[in-house]
Structure 1
Amino acid sequence: MVSIVIATHGESAPALLASAEMIVGKVENAHAITFLPGQGPEDLLDAYAAVVPDGEEVVFLVDLFGGSPYNAAARFVAERENADVVSGVNIPMLMEVFQGAKRSGATVESLVKKALKAGSTGVRAFKGGKAPKPAGEQPAGDVVPAAAPAGEIDPNFPRDPNETMNVVFLRIDSRLIHGQVAGSWVNHWGPQTLIAASDAAANDKLRKQLLLQVGPASARTNVLPVDKAIRVYFNPEYKGMKTMIVVESPMDALKLIEAGVKVNEVNVGGVTFKQGMTLITEAVSVDDEHVAAYKALDALGVKMTLQQVPNSQRTDMMGKLKEKGLV
């Protein structure tokens, strides 16, 4: 296993590590090293040696090219095989490297490539556009032709259960697409397309633009009304397409499943607290309408699991509602 060392001036290294782990989950082989006023290169070398045993593969992610953490790390790796240093550490870089380090067969070379790519493509401007995607990658945008019908579903439109997308993951998340979704879950499931199924987001030009901007490079990102997402699911043109769907509420999840969308289970990831709601975990709140939808999903035999990121604890949703006295 390749160790990851984050080294920065001041106290930003522990904060970067904590922020990245909030998104991708706990990372066992990651270490944060601080470089404080009054310390010198030898202090850094000692700190590096304390967390990286002799012979262990390691990638250093440091803040400034040519700064003391970088220079000490360069000295440290110069005499070692399978070790390297990358400067310009940021959250997108950490997310990609952490995900890559968890995979069997991860190497220093592969992690360095991920760090360099993610560190640069993660730098974007909202009004100035985003960094161009590497050649060969498909642009974000609707997977359905613009002329495809939207609005209320005609109950008689063709629905062949053998001519559908392959939904590998359905998540309930008020934020739809954000770091945990685009960074953790997409990397975990590897979908070809990511659909945010939300009437509110699809009809809000600014919000839709923001969601498309933060969509992962590895999957086509789509923001569709729920009815249109159902039509796309049953479109034979997309038969077998490995798909991940994110909805804002259990009511939308219920609408998809009642329409015939097949899923193995529903992941309850995050529902923002609002006045009148009950907080059942630090990330999930419910009101009466939510509870009714969860009960309806349960009656349909749908398994529902509370889980933030792929390597975090899994909790049965109905069990949690019973524990809180809500069902």
Structure 2
Amino acid sequence: MKGFASAGDLTEKTVSFTEVGRDIYAFTAEGDPNTGVIVGDDSVMIVEAQATPRLARKVIDCVRSVTDKPISHLVLTHYHAVRVLGAAAYGAREVIMSATTRAMVAERGQEDWDSEFARFPRLFQGHEEIPGLTWPTTTFTGSMTVWLGTRRVDIAQVGRAHTAGDAVVWVPDEEVLYTGDIVEYHSACYCGDGHFTDWPATLDAVAAYDPRAIAPGRGDALIGADRVAEAIANTKDFIRSTYRPVQKVAARGGTLKEAWEAVRAECDPKFADYAIYEHCLPFNVARAYDEARGIDTPRIWTAERDREMWDQLQG
């Protein structure tokens, strides 16, 4: 039986650390999860923690190349293990997520950790250091503002997309937006916990910020209105191209395997060369098939469910 595409991806990625606004940075690594760095008057805010303390220290090394200010705040845009389990390394006094995201940690955090651990062995090297699930010190519903001295940072839920609890982080003085996995750039969207029907409108809410630059969840930082618009349009196309074929199959009572073949026919010509495309595809099809049949809340992925779904698609 074939393994998940990501399980064979064992090559270390090249890190880039890009200034996307004054004292605002994007840590990117060739399609691996991105992290944001916002330097305030007296301290630093990190956006997304990475999968392990080992990977978090790569971010901290980049932070220390530009400032010696302490890291005071860590914002987690959603709950996935590859985004949050490195949190302990930063020593932030405040760990912020939406109340919905905290509820998802309680509901499915351990199952998600076990599942992602099996899917992404490279990202979890050094996992022995992870002290446990990452819990927030601070939650919000709707939106909240953090002041890093005189620098204002707005954190807001703009709609369901990649998960039910997604948040964005907006730095208005430089018009820079961290989107989490609501937007990707030349990387497949992981939709296994997603909300396909809501996602396009959430992308419209992202576009309404009119950002000068965005740091997406995966892929290069995007500077300038044209590149921002391209990434948002491209993400929307990915979501629609995945969901529409599945809707048609589900409407006529077709099988998961038929949905998979319909999505491949639609998406392979456009997206096959994207980072983590082959990895995401089975989870995306399975979730789209559920949503198209009226299952609003994504079912919890476990290592066992991963394998059952994969066997069904390979069969």
Is the shorter-chain TM-score for this pair beyond 0.5, marking a shared fold? no
Instruction: Give me the TM-score of the superposition, normalised by structure 1.
Output: 0.31
Q: Does 1 or 2 have the higher relative contact order (CA < 8 Å, sep 6+)?
A: 2
